[in-house]
Amino acid sequence: MTEIKDILRTMDYGPAPEDAGIVTAWLERHKQGFGHFIDGAFTRPGETFAVTNPATGKALANVTQGSGADIDAAVKAARAAQPRWAALSGHERAAHLYALARHVQQHSRFLAVLESLDNGKPIRESRDIDVPLVARHFYHHAGWAELVEDEFPGARPVGVCGQIIPWNFPLLMLAWKVAPALAAGNTVVLKPAEYTPLTALAFAEIAAECGLPKGVMNIVTGDGETGAAIVSHDDIDKIAFTGSTEVGRTIRRQTAGSGKSLTLELGGKSPFVVFADADLDAAVEGVVDAIWFNQGQVCCAGARLLVAESVAARFETLLKARMDDLRVGDPLDKCTDVGAIVHPVQLERIKSLVAQGAAEGARLHQVGAPEGCFYPPTLVTEVAPASILSIEEIFGPVATLTTFRTPDEAVALANNTRYGLAASVWSENVNLCLDAAAQIKAGVVWINCTNVLDAGAGFGGYRESGFGREGGREGMTAYLAHPRPAAKKGEAALPEPDPSPAAQGEAKGIDRTAKLYVGGKQARPDSGYSYAVMGQKASVGLAGYGNRKDIRNAVEAANKAGGWGKATGHNRAQVLYYLGENLSVRAAEFADRLRSFGASKDAARREVETSVRRCFWYAAQADKFDGMVHQTKTSNVTLAMHEPLGTIGIACPLAHPLLGFVSTVLPAIAMGNAVVAIPSQAHPLAATDFYQVLDTSDVPGGVVNIVTGPRDALSKTLAQHDDVAGMWYFGSDAGCAMVEAESAGNLKQTWVENGAARDWTGREGQGRSFLHRATQVKNIWVPYGE
């Protein structure tokens, strides 16, 4: 028999099992199986599949496989309920969200135990992290519901939201999706993950218990086919998806041209950067939270440890010693650190990837783990940056360790990934931390902490980690819509211009062949062709016929102009003011050019004057479109910084050839982006004239690049280009669908709109919405007040 004096000497933990009796009794009451939760009530169970406890392999319950008819019924209920829900005052919606938060707290132990049984995560995590954050999200968004009319004037709900969530944080992901949607006045059709639907079904019971109106929240269980039915449903207005990057690409393609709003929170391969002056003991504990939290099944897990070479040996020794103390086992034991992998399929994937890495020469350090669906915490050393373990998201308790020598090398290694979800930076020098945070391409950066989450701050990624934010003001914005311009008669698809000599006709008036503008220099088109630019009766000049290589050259030039994004807003503003001054000086010349296309004298004058005003307006915004400090529960200053996307491709509107060009290019460069612009296909010479203004206004080479030619063919190339971070397209409906579909390769952000919809001469032609489209938010968590 172990005595107290022996325990005090060895400090060994005994078992501390959590009582699962209440949850077991609840599951027993539902032994006939769960139906879907539609229109405020559970349906009869249909064709079911088993949900198992990953720690034991035993069946917990049977849930219904959702069909297309089930999704139809859920969407119908959500559509019927949405006008009444949106018509409630913000205060009335807030009361429902407050009630949900309170009832989550009242049932917190039940939900924590059920989550650990269903998912395999340790009860300490579900009890102390997941469930409290669920309540926090409903409280926080109850506040947004109360304030929505004041804080988002003119906004309206999106409508019916289809939401698909993953299995790693089943209940927390539900809260992330449902709380802002309901606060904004939307209704929801949500599909939980196939492996882990039980807490969503329990939450449905809680919603009914709270008196949430029928049809406001609908939950349909099932596999990927059920999710696909949500994505493809014609009567859903928004899709919100959290899951793998590959599925995210598929959803991007499936929703292309549908007009559905879309947010994607996808995979990650986050760097965990340890500089030489870091508190190594704190950083080691940070690694535990970064990669062994939730068995490493975390999209923002710090899976790539990048450690300064001078301290790497000491860090590795400390980390291995800490690993040996990790307790892997029963998720319902309150002393367990690492629980079970969610499903045997995921376990086999982890094993396969690690085996491939070992075959490449990587060395593994692992601690013990029980038999069954468990995987030992693993540290991988001697791993190259090109190793599969450094590149692929493993989604398991596996971390790689790579050394660096300089801060620049650390940043380069951190950015050596196609993802951009999160990063963690460790140093006692806050200046070094903030400098690295500014350079790392990730939507969330934690300084001397990791995996800190709160409803008050946005969460989401860059690049192939998706787009859109969840939490905070940004997350609320994603569930609101503003009035969008609509065309009475949409723009039709354009035929490609004819570069043959016979098609160019007799030149009259101004006659010159305009070159492309790439890297601050005039450039002949690679094709060697030109096409006629027609006025009212005859050709008024020739424009270069750009092709794929010209786009490639322009993108390369734009990406080399990275210094523009690092310039201060004040400095960018001075350049834009200078642009406005120089355009004003040449106003008569530009008006003549517009008149040559057929514009009246007054219309030409007004278009130039409005273009000048746009220069000054965006110059004024360049140093005023600020970020903010989010109010979070943790001891952090959480900085929400607006950052440029990078290189943006812009297919400018067909009408208003000068004003359409200025109105789209200027907000992009005001925010620090570089641009590859395709000007009006019909009348591009106003834009090619404009590069003379660029040359005399101190705009650095490569910041604005102009490629003339067939709009849709050039737009397709830009949309497909992996070094283009955003794509704006103003043209035909078919072109809009094409751009969205082709952007799925690197999941670039898109803004597509029928070119005839917007009045570019009025208030619709400028605004802060353009600046939002030109930026992405990086949330930087800095310790404060600890």
- Three-state SS for 53-121 is CCCCCCEEEEEECCCHHHHHHHHHHHHHHHHHHHHCCHHHHHHHHHHHHHHHHHCHHHHHHHHHHHHCC
3-state helix, strand, coil in the chain (%, to 5): 45, 20, 40
Q: What is the DSSP letter of 561?
A: T
Burial of 631 (0-12, 13-18, 19+ CB in 10 A): exposed
Q: Tell me whether strands 238-242 and 304-308 are parallel, antiparallel or unpaired.
A: unpaired
Given the residues 18, 146, 265, 742, select the one marked as catalytic.
Answer: 265
Cα–Cα distance measured from residue 519 to residue 760, given in angstroms and rounded to the nearest whole number: 28
Q: What is the DSSP letter of 129?
A: I
Are the CB atoms for 396 and 296 separated by under 8 Å? yes
Are the CB atoms for 81 and 207 separated by under 8 Å? no
Are the CB atoms for 326 and 293 separated by under 8 Å? no
Q: Tell me whether strands 261-265 and 238-242 are parallel, antiparallel or unpaired.
A: parallel
For 39, 292, 705, the CA distances from 108, given in Å and listed in that order, are 25, 24, 56
Helix (H) or strand (E) holding 514: strand 513-514
DSSP string, 647-708: EEEEE--SSSTTHHHHHHHHHHHHTT-EEEEE--SS-THHHHHHHHHHHTTTPPTTSEEE--
* Residue 273: both structure tokens together: 């950067």
CB atoms within 10 A of CB 352: 12
Strand partners, 49: 63
Cα–Cα distance measured from residue 447 to residue 780, given in angstroms and rounded to the nearest whole number: 7
- The three-class DSSP label of residue 426 is strand
Cα–Cα distance measured from residue 286 to residue 298, given in angstroms and rounded to the nearest whole number: 14
Q: Tell me whether strands 261-265 and 466-467 are parallel, antiparallel or unpaired.
A: antiparallel
Q: Which residues, other chains included, contact 110 with Cβ-Cβ below 8 Å and sequence gap of 6+? A: 22, 23, 26, 202
Cα–Cα distance measured from residue 629 to residue 497, given in angstroms and rounded to the nearest whole number: 50
For 316, 528, 717, the CA distances from 549, given in Å and listed in that order, are 48, 12, 9
Cα–Cα distance measured from residue 564 to residue 670, given in angstroms and rounded to the nearest whole number: 10
Cα–Cα distance measured from residue 402 to residue 383, given in angstroms and rounded to the nearest whole number: 7
Q: What is the DSSP letter of 466?
A: E
Given the residues 161, 299, 373, 433, select the one marked as catalytic.
Answer: 299
DSSP string, 606-660: HHHHHHHHHHHHHHHHTTT---EEE--SSSEEEEEEEEE-SEEEEE--SSSTTHH
433 is catalytic: no
* Residue 688: both structure tokens together: 């090619």
299 is catalytic: yes
Strand partners, 241: 164, 264
Cα–Cα distance measured from residue 732 to residue 776, given in angstroms and rounded to the nearest whole number: 26
Catalytic residues, by residue number, are: 265, 299
